[in-house]
Amino acid sequence: MLNSLAFEEEFRKFLQQRRARFIDQTRSYHDADFALMLSDGARFALEVKEKRQPYTASAWPASTPEPHMFILDDLTVRKCLAFAPRAGVAIKDVVGKRYVFFSVIDLALMPRVRVNRRIERNRPDLKGKWIVDLRNGAQAATLDDLLSHIQNYLANLHSILYEIHPCYGDYVGETVGDGGITRRPEHWAQDVRNSRGSAG
């Protein structure tokens, strides 16, 4: 069951209880909220966000049913890209009573709708927002489950990056079809001849 703590505080206490090695960067503008220290000396950059109440669905493009909708800052995604591929976003969905993990690979490949939200402070401005479907992330009932999703992503990272040939991910809102001419051995042989010829 999700508690009422702000997610940053809840996740910080969770890591402390698990005696995990981490750096709290929640006060930094340029760093991810948390840097999880990995056994190989690398770091995993994690942004933590939360949905505390339903959105006014009529104010946003109708791309995702509201119970599964999350509004993510474009800047948050760009920050994750700065630390790719060991980066991602963890979301606490208070309304849906779940946690969700998106790897930076998911952020790059999954369907989304991008919009600019108008801001009026000292001067008019725009803030980039993503409308994403929470069903496209790894679902977790507890923070232990969430951490397991991060660990599984890291364990499979080499395969995800270099060994999976079909389009990666099975995302809601996207149908991956077939296209192009079927490739056969003679095509690769021709490719090799062409590339060697151009090199010469």
Q: What is the pLDDT of residue 154?
A: 97
Residues sharing a CB contact under 8 Å with residue 140, sequence separation 6 or more, in sequence order: 98, 99, 100, 101, 146, 148, 149
> Whole-angstrom Cα distance, residue 83 to residue 141?
26
Cα distance between residue 14 and residue 118, in whole Å: 36
Q: Per DSSP, which regions of 62-191 are E strands?
A: 69-73, 87-93, 98-103, 113-120, 124-133, 138-140
Tokens representing 7 are 């997610």
Per-residue pLDDT in tens (0 to 9) along the chain, 200 residues: 677 889 999 999 999 999 999 999 999 989 999 999 998 889 999 999 999 999 999 999 988 999 999 999 999 999 999 999 999 999 999 999 999 999 999 999 999 999 999 998 888 899 999 999 999 999 999 999 999 999 999 999 999 999 999 999 999 999 999 999 898 888 778 888 888 765 54
What's the pTM value of the predicted model, to 2 decimals? Answer: 0.91
Going by C-alpha positions, the residue among 37, 132, 118, 124 that lies closest to residue 76 is 132
CA separation for the pair 134, 140 (Å, rounded): 11
Reduced to 3 states, what is the DSSP secondary structure of residue 139?
strand
Residue 34, H or E segment? strand 34-37
| Residue ranges of domains in the chain | 7-199
Architecture of domain 7-199: 3-Layer(aba) Sandwich (3.40)
Compute and round to an integer the Cα radius of gyration of the chain: 20
Give the pLDDT confidence score for residue 136 in this predicted structure. Answer: 98
Q: Cβ(99)–Cβ(14) under 8 Å? A: no
Q: Could you read off the pLDDT of 133-153 as tens digits, one per residue? A: 999 999 999 999 999 999 999
| Residue-level pLDDT at 45 | 98
Interval 1-33: pLDDT, tens: 677 889 999 999 999 999 999 999 999 989 999
